[in-house]
Amino acid sequence: MVLHASVSLVLCVWLTGSIVLCDSTEFVVRETVYGNVRGYVHSVLDNITVERFLGIPYAAPPTGNLRFENPQDPESWADILNTTQLPPACPQTHWEYVIEHVPGFNYHDEDCLYLNIYVPRTPGSTVDDLAVLVYVHGGSNLQGMAGMFHGDVLAALGNIVVVAVNYRLGAFGFLTGQNADFPGNYGLLDQSFALQWVQKNIRFFDGNPAKVTVQGHSSGSSDVGLHIFSPKSKDLFRYVIMQSGVPTASFSIARPPRKPEIVLTTIAEHYGCLFSDKKRIKQCLKNVDWKTIIDDHSIIYETEYPATRLVSYIPVVDHVFISDTPENLMDKWPLNGEAFMTGVTKDECSVWAKSYGDLNIMELTAEKVKRVIFEGVVPEVFPQLIDFVLKVYKPSSELTNVTANIVAFYSIMSDSVFVAPAVDFASQISRRNRNTYFYTFEYQSPVSPPPSWLGVPHGRDLFYLFGCPFTGHPLYNYTDDDRRVSSIVIDMWSNFIKHGTPSFSSIVAEPIPRFTEKDQFYVKISGYNQTSAVSISTRPRARHVMFWNYVLPWIRNLRESKYTKMGTLTFVFISLTGFLLVVLASVVLYYNRRRLKRCRN
């Protein structure tokens, strides 16, 4: 409910996040259960207006004795709380990810549990009945913030309420002792607490608490996937969107050989807090200044651990937020949510290719494959497994073509880390819920930054979802084609958020069929004009997905079986069998596409 609106009479004021409020700015006040908040009206898209509320506290500051504890309710306030500028990000050590979205922003503080709300002022809307999107940012649970994108355009064009949340990152959000005294997962509990806040308060912002969709990107997406299985998030949302990350991905939750408790031991020892009692460790670490922990990141987090390099701040099975790994809960655990949509970009890992050597002399080698995929996972005594990956991906006819090797290299990462897990998760969840959908974002703008082999990298779809082609962005140029594709993405998303089924009202297109384990229909967003930007296809990257989801695990399990001693002839037989399975997948894909074409005709 809008309580009060007025026009400011003060001079222009510069606010964090490149916002300028001038003497013509219209302010608006709304209720929450903790007190009233003041936002302001922002004009987008030819004077379509959206109310912005930036920095509403949804939990008490997680400082002092509340560090490493579950989130608590914020204290109520008597005066109107000013929420007109971006809140601080949660503490983080590197700013590259944030700067990619908000150049120049580097303001962080341990008092960071805030959310931003965008309310469309659309004529004819029914008060308290707008569908709601709650967005969880990515950043490996180490970086990022709610304010990396404003939700104005998405809220205005989609006629939905958009909510973006901060949550604790790094040591403050995911440090764990892997026991009841120091369980971890505080960042996940923050996300769940924010969803509870939305249930209590979103009606004051014209939103319907029964029409909430939770969405995440990258690590935020795999976090959102964990909410599907968490009793802490039961009845807090209706639909789920997972962009470039699923809860069964390797980076989503700690599994052997990851040992995240090693990080706690290292930190505790560094600060003289190493005790046998995890409660004492926690209390001791509460007394260390947060800036000191951030400054000492290189000592703490980037240490070479002798047990395994696969150590990070990562969600864990804590028996509070989640009782087991998602793959073990998939078939038996009650699922939160009534409809699910997940998908990937065409070239997920292209942006990280340069991290693995000089691209001018790029060659796809066994050492590179081992470093990005198998380090600490596959026994050293089985190099044939790496050779098999090379046989599938190495560009046979262009061995000296640098670009071909780069694309092959990042395709290994993309398929194994993002694409294959996403297809597998969608297949599994579709067995229990037929309202499952899949998409790929494959649109490469004609004015995309060079080099051209970057294609459509990780996170590029977010800029189109949040309408950057309409508002502009400091780091990118956009064309009319970009704005058209942005409209299509927003249309598809907002229809899913409202109805649980992705569809298009702005263009003439085929209905988007459900994704099933058998047919694996998905919508492909690509092209440069209104008629070719959307198509329906089947089995995304079928040959490579089958390799990672079926062939390679089968070979590995056979190799690791205590009944198997593999010699050269055995490996040749298995490799040949695996190759034939991949060929079979290609044949199935060919006939499925022919069947799909006949259905269209």
Transcribe 200-219 into DSSP letters: HHGGGGTEEEEEEEEEEETH
Q: Ranked by mean pLDDT, which of 4-8, 71-75, 381-385 comes out on top?
A: 71-75
Which stretch of 127-136, 152-161, 388-397, 459-468 has the lowest confidence by average pLDDT? 388-397
- Residues 113-122, buried b or exposed e (16+ Cβ, 10 A)? bbbbbbbbbb
Say which residue, 565 or 27, is predicted with more confidence: 27
- pLDDT exceeds 90 at position 347: yes
Q: 363: pLDDT confidence band, cut at 50, 70 and 90?
A: confident
The enclosing H or E element of 432 equals helix 420-432
Residue 372 has pLDDT above 50, yes or no: yes
Question: Do 219 and 245 touch, CB atoms closer than 8 A?
Answer: yes
Please list, in sequence order, all residues whose beta carbon lies within 8 angstroms of the beta carbon of residue 124, skipping any fewer than 6 positions away.
none
Ranges 260-264, 330-334, 549-553, most confident: 330-334
The larger pLDDT score, comparing residue 114 to residue 566, is at 114
The pLDDT-based confidence of 258 (bands split at 50, 70, 90) is confident
In this structure, which amino acid lies at residue 143? Q
Averaged over 324-335, what is the pLDDT?
Answer: 95
Residue 218 annotated to the active site: yes
pLDDT at 13 over 70: no
Distance CA 438, CA 402 (A): 32
Element housing 132 (H / E):
strand 130-136
Quote the pLDDT of residue 148: 98
**CA separation (Å) from 573 to 554, 567, 570, 576?**
13, 10, 5, 5
Q: How confident is the model at residue 357 (pLDDT cuts 50, 70, 90)?
A: low
Does residue 399 have a pLDDT over 80?
no
User: Averaged over 49-69, what is the pLDDT?
Assistant: 98
Alpha helices (runs of H) in 24-120, residue ranges in sequence order: 96-99
Q: What does pLDDT average to over the chain?
A: 86
Question: Is residue 515 pLDDT above 70, yes or no?
Answer: yes
Q: CB-based contacts of 134: which residues, under 8 Å, 6+ apart?
A: 163, 164, 165, 194, 195, 198, 212, 213, 214, 215, 237
Q: What does the pLDDT read at residue 354?
A: 76
The 10s digit of each residue's pLDDT in 197-241 is 999 999 999 999 999 999 999 999 999 999 999 999 999 999 999
pLDDT at site 174 = 96
Tell whether the torsion through CA atoms of 120, 122, 126 and 129 is positive or negative.
negative
CA distances from 101 to 95, 201, 459, 568 (A): 10, 28, 10, 51
In this prediction, what percent of the chain has a pLDDT beyond 90? 67
**Percent of the chain residues past pLDDT 70, beyond the cut:** 80
Which range among 80-94, 399-413, 471-485 shows the weakest confidence by mean pLDDT? 399-413
Q: How far apart are CA 461 and CA 106, in angstroms?
A: 24
- Output the CA–CA distances (angstroms, integers) from residue 384 to 374, 399, 582, in the order listed: 12, 20, 17
For residue 305, what are the CA distances in angstroms to 99, 171, 297, 317, 356? 30, 17, 14, 21, 20
Is it the case that residue 528 has pLDDT exceeding 90?
A: no
Under the banding of pLDDT at 50, 70 and 90, the label for residue 402 is: confident
Picking from 536, 508, 550, the residue whose alpha carbon sits closest to that of residue 592 is: 536
Q: How far apart are CA 595 and CA 601, in angstroms?
A: 10
Q: What is the mean pLDDT of residues 98-110?
A: 96
Least confident of 136-145, 213-222, 295-304, 357-366: 295-304
Q: Are 139 and 169 in contact (CB under 8 A)?
A: yes
Taking residues 503-517, report their average pLDDT. 81
Contacting residues for 580 by C-beta, under 8 A, at least 6 apart: none
pLDDT of amino acid 510: 63
More confident position, 195 or 263: 195
* pLDDT above 50: residue 333: yes
> Which member of 24, 125, 192, 218 is catalytic?
218
This model's pTM is above 0.75:
yes
- State the burial class of residue 553 (Cβ atoms within 10 Å of its Cβ: 0-12, 13-18, 19+): exposed
